[in-house]
């Protein structure tokens, strides 16, 4: 039942993502991000990150994907960066800053995950992960783990 319900949820969110209202698309992107490991969600998430009509959708979806703090979310963002125009890339960068500016350990974990993604089978992911890594390594987080000593 669980898998069937997840497939139904993805299908409903994909329908919502087709809305002409940017708020619906942003809501769909945030919700689909929690289901990004499902293959049916990935292409729509990529479309939402590169939303042609409203960069609010780009930012909201990207932020939700990055807040997963895993390779699945980072891979979708990297794939989008591979083909993003400068405007979309700026909003993706803004989301990267929003998510990784505070905690150094979260930023460092994302860098390590991106280094793993650099060996991904997808050339699109590999191309975009280079851009994502550039963004991440330029961030100087506010909070660093304490050093016991």
DSSP codes joined into one string, 116-131: HHTT-S-HHHHHHHHH
* Rg, C-alpha atoms of the chain: 15
Residues of the chain with pLDDT under 70: 147-149
Two tokens, residue 13: 């969110």
Give pLDDT, residue 148: 63
User: Domain coordinates of the chain in residue numbers?
Assistant: 2-137
Q: What CATH code would you report for 2-137?
A: 1.25.10
d(CA 120, CA 122): 5
Give pLDDT, residue 48: 98
pTM over 0.85: yes
Mapped onto helix, strand or coil, the DSSP state of residue 103 is: strand
Give pLDDT, residue 146: 83
Two tokens, residue 139: 């961030």
Q: What share of the chain is helix, strand, coil (3-state, %, to 5)?
A: 70, 0, 25
Give pLDDT, residue 70: 98
Number of H helices and E strands in the chain, helices first, is 8, 0
């Amino acid at each position: 039942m669980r898998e069937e319900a997840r497939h139904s949820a993805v299908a409903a969110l994909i329908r919502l993502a087709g809305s002409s209202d940017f708020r619906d698309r942003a809501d769909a992107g945030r919700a689909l991000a929690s289901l990004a490991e499902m293959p049916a969600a990935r292409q729509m998430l990529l479309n939402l990150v590169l939303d042609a009509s409203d960069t609010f959708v780009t930012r909201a979806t990207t932020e939700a994907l990055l807040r997963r703090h895993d390779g699945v979310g980072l891979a979708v963002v990297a794939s989008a960066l591979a083909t993003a125009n400068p405007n979309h890339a700026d909003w993706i960068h803004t989301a990267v800053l929003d998510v990784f500016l505070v905690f150094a350990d979260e930023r460092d974990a994302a860098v390590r995950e991106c280094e793993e993604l650099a060996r991904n089978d997808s050339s699109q992911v590999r191309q975009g992960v280079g851009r994502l890594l550039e963004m991440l390594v330029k961030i100087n987080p506010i909070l660093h783990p304490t050093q016991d000593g």
